[in-house]
Structure 1
Amino acid sequence: MNIRTFDLERIQSLYENTVEFNLTESGFHPFSLKELLTPEELDEINNTTLGYGQTNGSIPLRKRIASLYPNCHEENILVTNGSSEANFVACHTLLKKGDEVVMMVPNYMQIWGIAEEMGAIPKSFPLLEKNNWTPNLEELEKQVTSKTKMIALCNPNNPTGYTLSPEEMEAIVKIAKKVGAWIYCDEVYKGAELNGEEIPSFFGLYDKVVVNGGLSKAYALPGLRLGWLAGPQEVMANSWAYHDYTSITAGILSHKVGEIALRPERRAQILNRNRKMLNENLSHLKQWIDQHGELFRFLPPKAGGMAFMHYNLDINSTELSNWLRINKNVFIVPGDCYGMDRFIRIGIGERKDFLIQGLERIKEGLEEIHSLKS
């Protein structure tokens, strides 16, 4: 096999439907169509002819997406089957064998695997827990060379929930400009900020920027499998050519429902619902952590649907995740998926009662493990 197994996605696929409490989800509890759409909109969906539709995304949908970015038009948008396909298409558009990719870590590691498979050279620069997850921009500058073709970011970050400041964004743009590197930013959690203030996009800050968005995370609509790329028109045209070789098009029903979800009033309703859920659940999580004394070290996220925390137990994170899954019927993401043992990721975008019950199972498990280790 020429590509490494994507551990995070693989273990979720294997186990998320086999447990009573799946706390590995990184988004929010999904909407139903009945919850999301009015009766009139449901009738419109019911009367839709199930053809292919426009393969780069319907014009109404691409106009809605373009309105989310400054000085952006539908020609700057390519609609994909989820943001994961967007990552795949973008890498094959922007990279070739021998190119260097400098990637923020921890991160959703799909791009690392794609770059390796293509013969590109992935390198990293860290977010530093000791500095409240701020990026080590000195290390980024050291890692960037004349061979660097892409600086890959995730903002808001998966899994830490950190959001880059405008000053940090400007510094990253300055570093990229020195060598003419592309900035590729995964922005799928944009809109899920806890304080309700949406962070700016990298789109428009530099002429060599491509960003990734989608409806799976901040919008709680993962079943639509609707993602997109936003970037220069010529790059989007080239990306469309790669898209023709992958899934060809997202489904026409997803185009229609996605366009409705991105209408300004509906979008605001969706994001407000999810932010309220996140703030309430984070409050419960903090209370739960406080019950465990020195067991956890935790910096609350600024955005996103997950909590990433260090634990003080003498057990590997994958072993811990497996033990909780097998013995307590609750599933969490091990830090090993990010190359960071002794960390765990817990999804906090779930229904409140479900999350509380799942945390109680984890508490029971941690007490048993502690007694076994004593």
Structure 2
Amino acid sequence: MMSFLPQLSLPLPHHCSSSKPFQNPTVIALRSPTTVSNATTDSGIQFRRKLLYLRGLNVNALEALRKNPEFRSTPLRTLKSVETCLASMGIERAALGRIFDMYPQLLTCDPYLDLYPVFGFLLNDVEIPFPDVRTAIIRCPRLLICGVDDQLMPTLWFLRKLGFVGRQAITCQTTVLLVSSVENTLLRKLEYLRSLGLSCSEVANMVLRSPGLLTFSIENNYRPKVEYFLREMKGDIVEIKRFPQYFSFSLERKIKPRHKLLLDHGFSMSLSDMLKVSDGEFNLRLTKLRLRCLEEFPSAEVLLLNNLFLISVLTPKDWKRESSISCFYLYQLPLLDVFVYWLKILGCVNPLIVLDFYTFPILQFSSIIFIFLKCS
């Protein structure tokens, strides 16, 4: 039976002679079930401690583990060393939860290889004051996961060449630009602005005046707002050059509603006048424009003018261009009769009452505007 077994020739280690058998074979000591159980228990306890640590930072531990599997085998002291590093730059513990939720890979990074070089870049190359480093990180935590040599430094050189020097130098408010790729992001946005008919110097000036332009999406911001401005508002691209902040306002929540109000009433405003003010100030300007139009229209028993219902008992001879219009604000409708009676006592002939709901920017509640005409 032995002759049917194949003759196996096993290779020997180089340090062993082929003519000598192994003299001291290695004996593998198997751990007892008790030893394995203790190791498993210790590992489970350590893992639970890490989960409790993340819970204390308000970090979603399950999501962090899913995005960064290395977290399971990383010692707790490594996690705490990252917190110590960030705290040394003034980043408080309450802000760590948001940072780690956004970038869980930071939990297992080496502070000396990954974090301190970024802080050194911000302090020495960008020349951001130490107290402002915290602000830069809070505004853009992505800085912490960017490489200095392959991402941050090339972008800094490009931005400085574009004109971000001197008074326009990068600050803690604009360090978000440093995380953008020069080739794939910044150059594409600059080229799109140039395609609107603007020169290189005009585009650079727009970006320096409004650095946020370089953070907006071409498809989700630039293109729809330019199309609406040119097609619906019949605007001139020169006005966008004068007011590049146009791209920072919401198209659906601010630009379209305000333009529609102006269009419905037959008025027009520059982009800055239309968008820079609060809702209350815009409504006030619109109301003033509507009041100015009253002098240009004849009187009638009932006039419907730009959605203003004019309840009038005036005759054409009472409507005089030189008459002055005064505004009074009442906050309770039952006072209407008393108010009209008081006006007549003061000598105001045939009060012209205009009912309009308007929200004051300070009082923030609706009131009724009563307008009367003083006849000379």
Q: TM-score, normalised by structure 2?
A: 0.18
Greater share of helix? 2
Q: TM-score, normalised by structure 1?
A: 0.18
Greater share of strand? 1
Greater relative contact order (CA < 8 Å, ≥ 6 in sequence) = 1
Max radius of gyration: which structure?
2
